[in-house]
Structure 1
Amino acid sequence: MNQQVKVIQPVTKESASKIGIRVCAYCRVSTDKAEQMGSYVAQKDYFESKIKQTHGWIFVGIYADYAKSGTTFEGRAGFQKMLQDCENGQIDLIMAKSITRFGRNAMESVSAVRKLKALNVGVYFEEGGINTLTDQSELLLTIFSAVAQAESESISTNERWSIQKKFLEGSYNVGNVAYGYCRNEQNQIVIDTTGEIVKFIYDEYLSGNGAWSIAKKLTQMRVQTSTGSTRWSAHTVRDMLKNTIYSGDMLYQKYYTTGFPFKQKANHGERAMYLIEDNHEPIVSKAEFENVQNLFAYRERKNVDNSKRYDFTGKIVCGSCGSNFRRHTDTKKNGIKKYQWCCKEHIESKDYCPMKAVDEELIKTRFVTMWNKLQNSYKELLYPIVETLERTKVSCETKEKIENLENQIAELSKQSRLLNQAMAKQCIDSAFYMEQSTCVKIKIDDLKEQIKDYENPEEIQAEIIKTKQLIELIKTGPNFLEEYSSEVFLSIVEKIVVEPNNELVFILRNGLMLTEYYSA
Structure 2
Amino acid sequence: MPELYDIYLRKSRADRDAEANGGGDTLLRHRTALLELARRMDLTIFHIFEEVVSGESIANRPEMQKLLAEVEGGSIAGVLVMEVERLARGNTRDQGIVAETFQYSGTKIITPLKTYDPADESDQEYFEFGLFMSRREYKTINRRLQRGRMASLQEGKYIAAAAPYGYERVKIKGAKGYTLAIVEDRAQVVRHIYDLYINGLRQPDGSLRHIGSSVIAKQLDREGIPSPSGGRWAPYTVRDILSNPTYAGFVRWSWRPTVRKVVDGVLVETRPVNKAMALTDGLHPAIIPREQWQRAQDIMASRAYLPMPGNRTMVNPLAGLVYCEQCGRSLVRTKGRRGNAKDMLMCPNKDCTCKGSTMDEVESTLIHSLERWLREYKLKVKPVKAHRKKSNTAPLERALEAARRERDTLISQKGRLYDLLEQGVYTIDVFTQRQFELATRISAAEQAIQEAQQQLDAERQLDELRLSIIPRVERLLDVYQQLETPQEKNEMLKTCLERVEYRKTIGGRYTQSDMALKLYPKIIPVSSHP
Considering Cα pairs closer than 8 Å and 6+ residues apart, tell me whether 1 or 2 has the greater RCO: 2
Q: TM-score, normalised by structure 1?
A: 0.40
Relative to the length of structure 2, the TM-score reads 0.39
